[in-house]
A = this chain, B = another copy of it.
């Protein structure tokens, strides 16, 4: 069983890819045509349809892009830098470019050999920093070992950091009275799902499972900003199950397949599953199926609302990347400078 959680932006693209090829999904779609987004025997009213919500957001973005072109003669542009020829990274980069095209963005790309030097890569980033047609820059991770990810990510202009991973953005996310220029895409997508489903956050207890820089930690900060009372549990928490079972909102981003079982969930809680893991399954053609960090059937029996995997958080990640790029273009159109 390989955990795939927490790799950059992989949620969205791998799930999208999975939705196209997964035999699990096909079988379920045939068995339960009334709930096409549900891959399990759970009432559709309980499911948070991430795919559908992401589609709505993408069409909202496409409309605004058309307006922006008319009003300002400006087209949002996203630059994606790929180093090496990892099959998975190539797939994600392709999905991102396709998503850009669908909403009317310009997409820029630089593919570099695996043995490119850090200095060469920094030059590519610097060129996109200076290019006014580019409003967002994304360097596909992971990078080859000889390159410092930290150094590359810090080199991306704060105005174009559509991933929201720059420490200055994270600092502004943590501080009251400040606003980050960009919020990291996956946790932003989790909150967007809660908000579009009209789940109250203020005054609620939230449990975030996992404390990664790209999901758990910023998700906790976002919930906190919305006046939830947040507990972040992690591998060193002795009684994670008990803490989780008291939460009204659970965001699972621990990267362990089906770790969060039904007995972790308070009756009526809302469950957002960020995980995507390949689980051995001899009945599948590929020998595996995709599961989240939540054991879906058990949790769904207790939850009032839950995201499926795939089709939950995954599609939101790319939608939020597009939204961040659009916001950046909007700031450029209005001639705003970076401020926090």
Q: Are the C-beta atoms of A203 and B167 separated by less than 8 Å?
A: no
Identify which of A32-40, A105-113, A235-243, A278-286 touches chain B.
A235-243
Question: Given A203-B237, A227-B236, A231-B230, are A213 and B175 neighbors across the interface (CB < 8 Å)?
Answer: yes
**When chains A and B are docked, how far (Å) is the Cα of A229 from the Cα of B154?**
29
CA distance A224 to B221 in the complex (A): 13
The answer to whether A232 touches B229, judged by C-beta atoms less than 8 angstroms apart, is yes
Interface range, A side: 35 or more
Taking a contact as CB atoms under 8 Å apart, the answer to whether B176 and A166 are in contact is no
Q: Decide: A234 and B243 in contact? CB cutoff 8 A.
A: no
Query: Which B-chain residue is minimally distant from A172 (CB atoms)?
Result: B167
Across the interface, which residues of B come within 8 angstroms of A203, CB to CB?
A: 236-238
The reply to whether A234 and B238 form a contact with Cβ atoms under 8 Å apart is no
**Are B232 and A175 closer than 8 Å at their CB atoms?**
no
Contact of A170 among B175, B231, B236 (CB under 8 A): B175
B178 touches A167 (CB 8 A): yes
Interface string of A122-138 (1 = CB under 8 A from B): 00000000000000000
Across the interface, name the chain B residue whose C-beta is closest to A230.
B232
What is the 8 Å Cβ interface bit string for chain A, positions 63-101, against chain B (1 contact, 0 not)? 000000000000000000000000000000000000000
Distance, CA A224 to CA B173, complexed state (A): 17
Contacts of A31 in B (CB 8 A): none
